[in-house]
Structure formats: C-alpha cells, structure tokens
C-alpha cells in the first residue's frame, strides 16, 4: 500500500528562510539624482528554487539581517539558507 502525503511528494511545498546579499542599493537625493550606493541584504521565505513566497525584507546592516534570518528560521522551524557575506 502506498500513501502519498504532501510532505513527501515533490509538489513544491519546501520552504526555507533565505539570507542573501549584499546587493547594491542606489540612494536618491531630493531632486531624483543618484548620490551613492549602499549594500543591502535580503531576507525572505522561499521555495525549493529560492523563489520568494513572502515579502522580501531589505536591510542595510549585515548583522541585523543575519539576526532576523536566524530568528525567522528558528520561530518558523525552517532551514536557513545563508548565502550572504559582509560587505
């Protein structure tokens, strides 16, 4: 007898917390011109192909982003995919 349970089938139900970055973020000054770049890290819940299934959270601090990612993974009981590095 074979029982197909969603947790054990390949239906895209895998979820993990992804921590990625840094990505460049362009600052805008008051008149719409670019005045510099800052590194930005992203934290989000994604599927098995790293596609976001929740909103992306952006951080300008590596340490804060890492703390949020670890906390989110712990409270949601999800794997943490840590692909970020300090700037």
Question: What pLDDT digit, counting tens, does each position of 38-62 carry?
Answer: 899 999 999 999 999 989 999 999 9
pLDDT of residue 28: 56
Helix ranges (H only) for 15-59 are none
Tokens of 81: 């995919």
State the residue for tokens 């909103």.
Answer: 55
pLDDT of residue 34: 54
Q: Which one-letter DSSP state was computed for residue 49? A: T
Reply yes or no on whether the pLDDT at 33 is more than 60: no
* Residue (of 58, 60, 61, 80) closest to 70 by Cα position: 80
pLDDT confidence bin for 27, thresholds 50/70/90: low
Reply yes or no on whether the pLDDT at 1 is more than 70: no
Mean pLDDT, residues 70-77: 97
């Amino acid at each position: 007898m074979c029982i197909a349970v969603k947790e054990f089938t390949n239906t895209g139900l895998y979820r993990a917390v992804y921590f990625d970055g840094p990505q460049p973020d362009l600052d805008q000054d008051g008149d719409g011109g670019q005045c510099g770049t800052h590194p930005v890290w992203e934290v989000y819940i994604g599927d098995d192909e790293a596609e976001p299934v929740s909103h992306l959270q952006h951080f300008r601090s590596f340490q804060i982003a890492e703390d949020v990612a670890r906390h989110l993974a712990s409270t949601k009981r999800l794997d943490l995919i840590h692909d970020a590095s300090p700037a």
